[in-house]
Structure 1
Amino acid sequence: MITPLILLHGYGEDAKVWDTIKAAFWPATNVLTPSYASRSDLKTIDEYADVVYKDLRSQGVERGVVIGHSMGGYIALALAEKHPEFIEGLGLFHSTAYADTEEKKANRDKNVAAIKEKGPAGFLQGFVKNMYSDAFAENNPGILEEHITHVSQLPPEALIAGMQAMKDRPDRRQVLEKATYPVLFIIGMKDKAVKPEEAMEQVQLTPNSSQLILEKAGHMGMTEEPDDCLEIIQSFWQRVEREASLKEI
């Protein structure tokens, strides 16, 4: 039985962010990309994880390789904490197991105020630009504009709910410390949202880890350095799939 690859999108994006990676797998039905970007009824990261888990189980998924980008990584960690038997492999893609610092929480509050004042389009203009490295943003204005236009359609209530859930999430380093499955870290050295040094510290928390360091990428490696990201995700999934197959023998 093929182990599904489950890709969880981050904040300020939806499942579309995975289109290129999903298209590279054959058959693409082996890749699942739950979407929760428009949900405004979810108040905590745990609630997002519960919705994702219920959705996957309703599709008959019993186990999976779960890789989460940014907020998707927070959801993946909550899922791993609540249902460790579900996880065959875990990936943190520009994400962190650490809780927000007080400074970060204050910035989340400012973002909520900006959403209320400017609306999604006005808020996301600056927010999305900061997701990319300065060099990429300068050289690829069309990609950023397409990103902003697409996610500006999200309901403001959903953007506020997601921001609040990220702010209030607990520290989940113990999930990495207790992990009995392989863990992948994808780290952008120009990331403004997850400090590279903090991301590197996490690698040491779990014994069975591998990592991809993207020297030029900010917070959107799948767009900024897509070939390297696709290669590491494919190899990680194949590795976990081989190990899962051996368990069944």
Structure 2
Amino acid sequence: MKKRIQLRNGKRIAYEEEGTGGTPIVLLHGFCGSSAYWNRVLPLLGKTRHVIAVDLAGHGDSSAPEPNEAYTIEKFAEELSMLVEEWGFERIHLFGHSLGGYVALAFAEQYADKLQSFGLIHSTPFPDDEAAQQNRNKGAESIRSNGIEPFIKALVPKLFAPENLKSMPDQVALAKEIGLATDPNGAIQTLRAMRDRKDRLHVLQESQLPVLLLAGDQDQVIAPAKTFVVEKAQVQQVLLPNVGHMGMLEAPQDLVDAMVKFVESL
């Protein structure tokens, strides 16, 4: 059952929660996703761990920004910090998918004292290049002019490995359903936040926290080479075979196994 909490800034954040035991694991979804992205992961992780999947602002059942309210990746991280304080957790394990990974990096940069570890799931520390920034602008204009449906219908097929796009129609349909429920202004403001995000490679290079870097070998959105950018003792790298950008839907058990192995190794 989805829970909701009001932050001290007046915003509502919704989340799903399962399980008990150990330092809580917090999951952040990707762009035009929601906590429902993790609906195959939560019950698996919840067997042995306390796990929470959050709806980021402008997504799912969380508050959307006002029409003229600019959002930044840092603001997403700030709201997550407020949320952790509301929960009363001393530290968390934080795993961010795609957009959620950008937020996780900003969180690790600003609020490292609240982390026991963090991970990038199909994500990267690099900022958008000029072409990607232009695509963000085109996406925002498309949503403003035509609504969110054409944008989501064009986006979702790119998220899955080609073979999985054919063999997993239910998961593809779920991703579309979740995307279509995204607040249009929330999507526009998030596109701008992603467009303007900082280079945070230094966070991975300098952090003393344990880090999980996980990629799909058929990811058409963020290539594994853009995820596996740091090699050092406290960084674990996992490549999921036959997976695109949506490991939580394409190979949930493999993703959970990688998360559990990482957390238990600490």
TM-score by length of 1: 0.90
- 1:218 aligns to what? 244
Does residue 1:234 correspond to 2:260, yes or no?
yes
Match of 2:164 among 128, 136, 154: 136
Alignment partner, residue 197 of structure 1: 225
SS in 2 for 1:20: coil
Q: Secondary structure at the match of 2:39?
A: helix
Distance in 1 between the 2:101 and 2:176 partners? 21
Are 1:12 and 2:38 an aligned pair? no
Q: In structure 2, how many angstroms separate the alpha carbons of the residues matched to 1:181 and 1:48?
A: 21
Counterpart for residue 86 of structure 2: 58
Distance in 2 of aligned mates of 1:145 and 1:217: 17
Q: What is the DSSP-based 3-state SS (H/G/I as helix, E as strand, rest coil) of the residue aligned with 1:90?
A: strand
For 1:227, give the aligned amino acid.
Q
Q: Is the 8 A contact 1:115 1:160 kept in 2?
A: yes
* Deviation per residue, 1:41-87 (Å, 9 max, x gap): 45100000001110111110111111100000000000010011111
- 1:22/1:28 contact within 8 Å kept: no
Determine helix, strand or coil for the equivalent of 1:13.
coil
Is the Cα–Cα contact under 8 Å of residues 34 and 178 in structure 2 kept in the other structure?
no
Evaluate the alpha carbon distance shift between residue 143 and residue 4 of structure 1 in structure 2; reply closer, same or farther with a 3 A threshold: same
1:117 aligns with 2:137: no
Counterpart of 1:153 in structure 2 is 181
Using the alignment, how far apart are the partners of 1:190 and 1:16 within structure 2? 22
Contact 2:101–2:124 (CA<8 Å) still a contact in 1? Answer: yes
Query: Matched residue of 2:265: which SS?
Result: helix
The Cα shift of 1:29 comes to 7.3
- Structure 2 unaligned spans of 5+: 1-20
Structure 1 residue 24 displacement after superposition: 1.4
Please state if 1:171 is matched with 2:191: no
1:217 to partner: Cα distance: 1.0
**2:119–2:211 CA contact under 8 A, matched in 1:** yes
- Of residues 151-160 and 191-200 in structure 1, the stretch that sits farther from structure 2 once superposed is 191-200
Deviation at 1:181, TM superposition (A): 1.5
Residues in 1 aligned to 2:225 and 2:170: alpha-carbon distance in whole angstroms: 30
Which of 85, 88, 92 is the aligned partner of 2:120? 92
In structure 2, do the counterparts of structure 1 residues 225 and 29 end up closer, same or farther at CA, with 3 Å as the change threshold?
A: closer
Displacement of 1:102 in angstroms is 0.8
The aligned amino acid for 2:207 is: A
Higher helix share: 1
Task: State the alpha-carbon separation in 2 of the partners of residues 83 and 218 from structure 1.
Answer: 30
Inter-partner Cα distance in structure 2 for 1:12 and 1:132: 15
For structure 1, the residue ranges without an aligned partner over 5 or more in a row are: 241-249
- Partner-residue secondary structure (3-state), 1:17: helix
**Structure with the larger strand share:** 2
Opposite residue 147 of structure 2, the aligned amino acid is: G
Question: What is the distance in 1 between the residues matched to 2:215 and 2:49?
Answer: 27
CA–CA distance in structure 2, aligned partners of residues 35 and 213 of structure 1:
26
3-state SS of 2:23 partner = coil
TM-score by length of 2: 0.84
Identity over aligned pairs, percent: 29
